[in-house]
């Protein structure tokens, strides 16, 4: 069997992202962590709306 080197490793990228978020939130209070996720969710929905203007993400 021949092995090839991956040019892109999705799992490694996901783990690096999760590690960065953990490091960012490490010393935050519970309320600060909640605020962080509310803001990140808002930003994601904004980006999704920019990509797909006909979609609605106002389920809340």
Q: Is residue 37 within 8 Å of 28, Cβ to Cβ? A: no
More confident residue, 51 or 1: 51
pLDDT of residue 52: 77
pLDDT of 55 higher than 90: no
Tell me the pLDDT tens digit for each residue of 2-46.
777 878 999 999 999 999 999 999 999 999 999 999 999 999 999
DSSP 8-state assignment for residue 7 = S
Residue with tokens 């969710």: 41
pLDDT of residue 5: 80
Question: What does the chain come to in residues?
Answer: 60
pLDDT of 59 higher than 60: no
pLDDT of residue 57: 56
């Amino acid at each position: 069997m021949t092995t090839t080197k991956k040019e892109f490793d999705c799992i490694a990228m996901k783990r690096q992202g999760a590690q960065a978020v953990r490091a960012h939130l490490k010393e935050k209070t519970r309320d600060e962590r909640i605020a962080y996720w509310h803001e990140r969710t808002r930003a994601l929905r904004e980006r999704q709306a920019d990509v797909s203007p006909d979609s609605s993400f106002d389920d809340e």
